[in-house]
Amino acid sequence: MTKIAVVTDLHANREAVEAVFAHARAQGATEWAFLGDFVGYGADPAWVVDQVREMVDAGAAAVCGNHDEAAVIGSTPQMRAEARAVIDWTRAQLDPGQLDFLAALPFQVQREDRLYVHANAFAPSQWEYVQGRADAVRSIHATTCHYTFCGHVHEPRLYHLGATGKAGDFTPTPEVPIPLPGYRQWLVIPGSAGQPRDGNPAACYAMFEPGAQRVTYHRVPYDHESAAAKIRAAGLPDRLAARLAEGI
Amino acid sequence: MRSSGAFNSGGGGGSRRGTDWHDIGSLAPPLEKGAIVDGFLLEKRLHQGGMASMWRVSRVDAEGNPAPVADEPPLIMKVPRIKGGEDPATIVGYEVEQMIMPALTGQHVPRYVARGDFTRQPFIVMEHIAGDTLRPRLAEAPLALDEVVEIGIRVATALHDLHRQHVVHLDIKPSNIMFRPDGAAVLVDYGLSRHEHLPDLLEEEFSLPMGTGPYMSPEQVQFIRNDPRSDLFALGVMLYHLTTGERPFGAPSSVRGLRKRLWIDPIPPRALRPDCPPWLQEVILKCLEVQPDKRYQTAAQLALDLQEPGQIVLTRRAEKMVRSSQWTRLKRWFFALGAEPQETAPSATEVLNRSSIVMAAVDVDNAAPELLDQLRETVRRIVLTEPGARLACVSVMRIARIGNDALTDHQGKSLHVKQLVGLKHWARPISKALNLEDGRLTFHVLEAPDPADALVDFARRNQVDHIVMGARGNSLLRRYLGSVSSTVVAESLCTVTVVRASAPNNSEAGDAARQPAPDSPGDSAPS
């Protein structure tokens, strides 16, 4: 049985990523898909990029996120000071090989009936958020795949479009398998692994089982105190450390 | 799972427009007897309804030979009738049922077996529950009161089990209720149901209220789809009908007609059926309250009342012989005008969590006073933190296993009453302190040879959520008699809190253990 662990918005949070990987392996993950934003905000960009690169070499799917793109291009004067500081710091942590890996990431990957993108399917490189049903329908209409997986939005969410043209949205309950029958189109937002923002500090990811046509949203508690301490030690903005404890 | 039916899907199929999910089921030809679909042989059409047909099916292998699976019940296949692929009611109803049924377990639902791919041949295969639904019995209403109550208990028990699985049925009516040979009610048809932890595919689908007109709760009329108490309203409609032979709100076909139940109350059952006892009217009218907060909060609480009619607190509902006055109705109508239900109806989990049944097992005759005090204090704290909880105070009166009890009937009765008096006295500080009104507090003296069995059985029958009981303080007694509380902890399905009286210090507890056993330990009941 194929079980695909879909992980997104890892944001250089080693502690969260380690916890998610261990959880997904224990759940029997057979494949991996990464929806981008491997770096930015957190204190371990090089480690996270190395991990993902290794798994991509072994067959995992991965797409580029806006933070990855920014790390490759470098900061621009238009950016807010905080963002500029984070990007410059992140870029300095990455060696040329790691930057090349990020630069080579595609904006979308399709595997069978599944589309992986970072932000949306209608303009994957433009970074528009899927913030509601209208955006979700726009994204679903842009693909023939029945299953789209996207990140960028850090809160877990599930959108669907039925045969009658009516769309719905749902805030998933963690750990409850949700059937995703293939006669509907689905947009799965697993939520951020490295910087959850729905008030729950536990790391997010989703496990998709194409055979059984179902998805389970998982929440994995991790040592966010260590992750925050590293952010502070690196001299990154304190706000980025503080929010991990609250998941905001 | 792709369906791989052996039936002919080549001819007569519709042409594909756009992507295939827009052409649901249109490729499938009508099914006929003898066809094989996904390894199921269609043996006999049992029912042809407007929304679906039902086939008796059996498993066959690739060659078409019988291939039964061990321990599998007789099977039935439900095939939705899709009219041209653009029939939202059938399509989405089928999708909902296909989503929810595999998540359900237990004896009160048909066991789910398999489903078909919508783009090829939609179907659900499930356990075949033999016999008829409750529907034909409506024609015989009014039924005997005993039977009405029995049906009420069984359906409420099934509903509570469903609600505990986070599902609100939303279409409770006689044609969706069946019974197993042992009498357990089975709820069928989940096409309108709502699972709290799964997306609600029906939420945005329709601009009309969803449900069956006569049974729909006021909040369903107002598009609320997640309140388990809606099912209790529907059950109330059913009990009213079975008791009186009349429908409480008729069978309206328009939304305007449906909305009338927001302000027009039904004729009290006793006005239609003089031998309907006041307590039954109390129960039925409580189920039919417009505000969910005024109904029973859980099906378990309803089942508990129906099993213990003597404990039902009668309110003005029980005494009513006529409908509310025109003036009252006018007021209700005015407030119902454009009234929107509460923005966030509580979920099934929330309602069940805040409306638990707490059972205090009290050995009024034998437990030490300190233990009884400690037990009362513990129970008080639990009930205090759960404002919707009901408290059932239970004690066990031991009787001999075999019929020739030394007690005469008269003696037995007086002992029973004595225990009941003791139990009420024990609970008095709690009922006073917490102002337990409206039937939230009940008393039960169980007559049984084995206290632990009796307590476990009572808890199971009444779907108790939490048992609070004392531990036998004297370790010598415990050694000779075994511990009632440890048996209850081991065997009951719910949470059990075992209370100990706090001992001043360890040495004293040790002394107590060395004291000789009392003279007649055999009389001890739970402690």
Contact (CB<8Å) A176/B197: yes
Q: Do B201 and A160 touch (CB under 8 A)?
A: yes
In sequence order, the β-bridge partners of residue B179 are B185
Closest-CA residue of B relative to A178 is B198
Facing residues of A111 across strands?
A: A114
Answer with the residue of higher pLDDT: B10 or B133.
Answer: B133
| Closest in B196, B198, B205 to A166, CB measured | B205
B226-268 pLDDT tens trace: 999 999 999 999 999 999 999 999 888 888 888 888 888 899 9
For the entire predicted model, the pTM comes to: 0.79
User: Residue A55: what residue type?
Assistant: M
DSSP per residue, B423-473: HHHHHHHHHHHHT--TT-EEEEEEEES-HHHHHHHHHHHTT-SEEEEEPP-
Nearest to B525 by CA among B415, B424, B439, B437: B415
Contact B119 A160 (CB under 8 A): no
Whole-angstrom Cα distance, residue B234 to residue B499? 40
Tokens of B510: 């040790």
- CA B488 → CA B467, B474, B527, distances in Å? 9, 18, 11
Please report how many Cα atoms fall inside a 13 Å half-sphere around the Cα of residue B259, on the Cβ side.
16
Q: What is the pLDDT of residue A75?
A: 85
Residue appearing with tokens 């007021």? B331
**Residue (of B497, B293, B296) closest to B377 by Cα position:** B497
Please, what is the end-to-end C-alpha distance for chain A in angstroms? 35
Do the Cβ atoms of B118 and A211 come within 8 Å? no
| Nearest-CA distance A214 → chain B (Å) | 10
Ramachandran bin of B29, using left for φ above 0, alpha for ψ from -120 to 50, beta for the remaining angles: beta
Determine whether the interchain pair A162/B1 forms a contact, defined as Cβ–Cβ distance below 8 Å: no
pLDDT at A36: 97
Q: Does A132 touch chain B (CB under 8 A)?
A: no
Tell me which chain A residue has its CA closest to the CA of residue B122.
Answer: A183
Distances B398 to B73, B448, B453, B523 between C-alpha atoms, Å: 41, 5, 11, 7
Provide the 3-class DSSP secondary structure of residue A185: strand
User: Cβ contacts (< 8 Å) between A147 and chain B: which residues?
Assistant: none
Residues of B whose CB is below 8 A from A164: 86, 88, 91-92, 205
Task: Name residue B34's amino acid.
Answer: G
Model confidence pLDDT, tens digit, residues A149-175: 999 999 999 999 987 788 899 999 999
User: Taking a C-beta distance cutoff of 8 angstroms, is the pair A104, A53 a contact?
Assistant: no
CA pair distance B238, B244, nearest whole angstrom = 10
Q: Exposure of B61 by Cβ count < 10 A (0-12 exposed, 13-18 middle, 19+ buried)?
A: exposed
pLDDT bin (cut points 50, 70, 90) of residue B419 is confident
User: In this complex, do A211 and B1 lie within 8 Å of one another by their Cβ atoms?
Assistant: yes
| Token representation of residue A140 | 């679903």
ipTM of the predicted structure?
0.84
Residue B27: HSE in the Cβ half-sphere, 13 Å Cα cutoff:
20
Work out the percent of chain B whose per-residue pLDDT is above 70: 80
Do A164 and B86 make contact, defined as CB atoms within 8 angstroms? yes
Q: Which residue of B has its CA nearest to A133?
A: B204
A163–chain B Cβ distance below 8 A for any pair: yes
CA-wise closest residue to A151 among A2, A5, A6: A6
* Confidence band, pLDDT 50/70/90 cuts, at residue B479: low
Task: Let me know: does A65 contact A151? Beta carbons within 8 Å.
Answer: yes
**Which residues of chain A carry a pLDDT beneath 70?**
none
pLDDT in tens, A188-210: 999 999 999 999 999 999 999 99
Task: Summarize the confidence of residues B75-84 as an average pLDDT.
Answer: 82
Q: Are A5 and A31 in contact (CB under 8 A)?
A: yes
| Residue B377, C-beta contacts closer than 8 angstroms, at least 6 positions apart | none
- Whether B199 sits inside 8 A of A168 (CB atoms) is yes
Identify the three-state secondary structure at position A127: coil
CB-count exposure of residue A34 (10 Å: 0-12, 13-18, 19+): buried
> What is the predicted pLDDT for the residue at B25?
46
